[in-house]
Amino acid sequence: MIFTPPMSAASSSQVTHFNGLISPAAWGAPFQLPGSPPPGPGAFPPPLLVVLLPSEGRIMTTQGSVQQGIFVMLLVLMTDPVTHMPTLNFVGNSTMANFQVDARLTSASLSATVQGFDLVSFSPKTVTISVSWTAIDPLTGTLSPITRTTTESRVQFGGFSLFLHMSSQMRLATASGTLVVVGGPTIPLPPAPAAIARADLGIITRTPLA
């Protein structure tokens, strides 16, 4: 899908378009689901939270730049199980990774070294991660069906507006693997809900000129 920004003499439009493969996965659950009651006064974040988003595809922008390849985003939060104080708050990304997705979206694998920054120690850190995805139910042996979705969203306030369009083909999956903080612990990542998807995402933002 090709996106064309609206033209206006009083605003500046930016377009970002991504087309490719993504396999989001997460371990730990500090997020409140819609409609669920808020956590009680004794609720604490889990001892470990890992959010992983690897992608492979093409990104095009209004300026004419085209980037193609693999991009991995990783968030790792660790807390002391006794004091509940954070011991690691790592945010990082990598373009040097081996990310492979089966053409039928039945399986995927990732091996990456991610450079980032720890907001607890205020120091750079390196994390290596190895994860595999499967869309086959381990209990029934059946393949998860492909779900096709198309969504559009618009946000506007003042002279700023944002339009988001996304279409995807996705199989629900499970992901598992190992995460190693270089100079720190090796952390097993047990099977957790994930997805394997082919996505087309476009974002148009319009900002009023000063």
Residue 37 lies in a domain: no
Distance CA 179, CA 158 (A): 44
Residue 4 lies in a domain: no
130-163: pLDDT as tens digits: 999 999 988 889 999 999 999 999 998 878 899 9
Residue 79 lies in a domain: yes
Residue 32 lies in a domain: no
pTM greater than 0.95: no
* Averaged pLDDT of the chain: 86
Coil, helix or strand at residue 156: strand
Residue 1 lies in a domain: no
Residue 36 lies in a domain: no
Distance CA 100, CA 108 (A): 5
Cα of 105 vs its chain's centroid, Å: 17
8-36: pLDDT as tens digits: 445 688 889 999 999 999 998 554 444 44
Residue 87 lies in a domain: yes
* Domain range for 20: 11-27+47-208
Domain count, the chain: 1
Residue 122 lies in a domain: yes
Quote the tokens at residue 204: 């148009």
